[in-house]
Amino acid sequence: MVVVTEQHKPNKTHILIFPFPAQGHMIPLLDFSHRLAVRGGGSISITVLVTPGNLHFLRRLLSSTAGEINPLVLPFPSHPSIPNGVENVKDLPPSGFTSMIHALRNLHAPLRSWISEHPSPPSAIVSDIFLGWTHRLGLRRFVFSPSAAITCCILNHLWLEMPTREKPGDDNEVLEFRKIPTSPKYPWWQVSTIYRGYVDGDPFWEFIRDTFRDNWASWGLVINSFSDIEGVYLEHLKRDMAYDRVWAVGPILPPPGHDNDRGGPTTLPIDHLMTWLDARDDGHVIYVCFGSQTVLTEAQVRALASGLEKSGTHFVWVIKDSACDTIPGGFEDRVTGRGLVIRGWAPQVAVLNHRAVGAFLTHCGWNSVLEAVASGVLMLTWPMQADQYTDANLVVDQLGVGVRVCEGADSVPDSDELARVLAESTTGKREEKERAKKLSRAALDAVGESGSSTKELDAFIEHVVSLGQAK
């Protein structure tokens, strides 16, 4: 099945948007598409490619952009390691990212056909960082990075230079990136899981390697970040990629009213949650959430529950349905009045922006980091995988707006120490909190009418329109 809408006018520059089907990747690119449509002032029209199982993510976007954005729905391609009907990484085991990257390349032929048959074919494509093969569609390809600029710097270094351990088998060996500003360094076990899985000579992994190398060879790069937090890394990317076509357009936040309907099922109505927060003192609530993919182990759930209970703090804890059975018996009764446990999903941006929320215990996914930055909330960091370690280091060591709590997908915090940090996050940490508020003002200024990210967005639109006019 292919759904094509014919609303593209010849006098507009047509752009194709292709998100990667993982919530943390898809949502910021769709929000960026909304900003493109609104800011484009009628000079561009946009097609967003999704598979049938993810079409629902477009509903609000399509209804709010008055025909400037249209869907292209292509069947999800079959793949031996992906069960039929699974179209989102969150439904797959941890290896699902690489399988999904590999599977989606099979959309190359139908997408080429759609481009060649369209009466007003796109002049450019903006596609996710995991979709490097779209560089070979015959369009100017702009990479969209939902990750930080420093992560882009690190990925370029990894996949172009292919560094290895001097002591094979030693996962604690430190890998230092001396060519990147601040010379970031990480133990091997914190380096990209996808990179560590690379097997030289295996066609599957050679494709994965080429995916990231194609990012470096693409026409331009759009990053969900802003100059006040990553200016040094943005400048490095321009030097590293040997062009100035790098646009920092973040923080990309949901349009007003869009945050409340973008998640999944929840056990607590949104108005109930907001009413509960309204009754709390300013800055005295800790928001606890580990993103759309992380599932805490039973030991982690019990340690976290114990730490929350001992801390005496007010909190909202969002926990995935699959981990709910491991919550200690009687916990919710014992914290009645000061704690809410939400099974499933919560409107994170709205919660973080509530005056009662003063701290955020987070896995440090980049979307969560930017949402916390924009909200001026202190971050308590517990990175689990991938670029989350990089994000946590940026938050704590460079920006000074966070405090380390734990790190690692298998680590279990000491509940007494956790309780101490949680309690202190609402009563102390004044320097970090002041920096968080200052950084929030910078983030909101960046996306204001005359802010750096708005200017970058305008420059990107101007560049894309010029490509369309040159056709």
CATH 3.30.450.260 fits 263-445, yes or no: no
Q: Which of 31, 128, 214, 387 is catalytic?
A: 128
Angle among Cα 356, 357, 363 to the nearest 5 degrees reads 170
**Span 428-452, mean pLDDT?**
92
Q: What is the mean pLDDT of the chain?
A: 89
- pTM for this model (two decimals): 0.92
Instruction: Identify the pLDDT of residue 263.
Output: 58
Would you tell me how many other CB atoms lie within 10 Å of the CB of residue 381? 24
Residues in the chain: 471
Residue 62 has pLDDT above 80, yes or no: no
Confidence of residue 94 (pLDDT cuts 50, 70, 90): low
Span 111-165, pLDDT tens digits? 999 999 999 999 999 999 999 999 999 999 999 999 999 999 999 999 999 999 9
448, pLDDT greater than 50: yes
Residue type, 11: N
Q: What is the average per-residue pLDDT within 253-261? A: 68
Read off the pLDDT band of 5 (50, 70, 90). very low
Query: What are φ and ψ of residue 171, in 5° steps?
Result: -75, -10
Q: What per-residue confidence (pLDDT) applies to 258? A: 60
Could you give the residue range(s) of every CATH 3.40.50.2000 domain in the chain? 13-253+449-469, 263-445
Is 321 among the residues known to form the active site?
no
Predicted local distance difference test score (pLDDT) of residue 85: 56
Give residue 1's pLDDT. 42
Distance CA 124, CA 217 (A): 15
Residue 102 designated active-site = no
d(CA 35, CA 253): 10
* Lowest mean per-residue pLDDT among 200-204, 261-265, 313-317, 416-420: 261-265
Residues ≥6 apart with Cβ < 8 Å to 366? 24, 146, 147, 148, 151, 224, 387, 391
Buried b (16+ CB within 10 A) or exposed e, 13-33: bbbbbbbbbbbbbbbbbbbbb
Q: Does pLDDT of 80 surpass 70?
A: no
Instruction: Look at 275 and 323; give whichever has higher pLDDT.
Output: 275
**Residue that is written with structure tokens 């040094």 in the block:** 232
User: Which CATH topology does 13-253+449-469 take?
Assistant: Rossmann fold (3.40.50)
Query: Could you tell me which residue, 4 or 353, shows the higher pLDDT?
Result: 353
CB 176 within 8 A of CB 185: yes
pLDDT at 345 over 60: yes
Instruction: Pick 309 or 67 by higher pLDDT.
Output: 309
The candidate with the shortest Cα–Cα distance to 61, out of 29, 107, 13, is 29
Q: Which of 8, 14, 25, 363 is catalytic?
A: 25
User: Among candidates 341, 344, 331, 387, which has minimal Cα distance to 147?
Assistant: 387
Q: Which two tokens stand for residue 360?
A: 């955020």
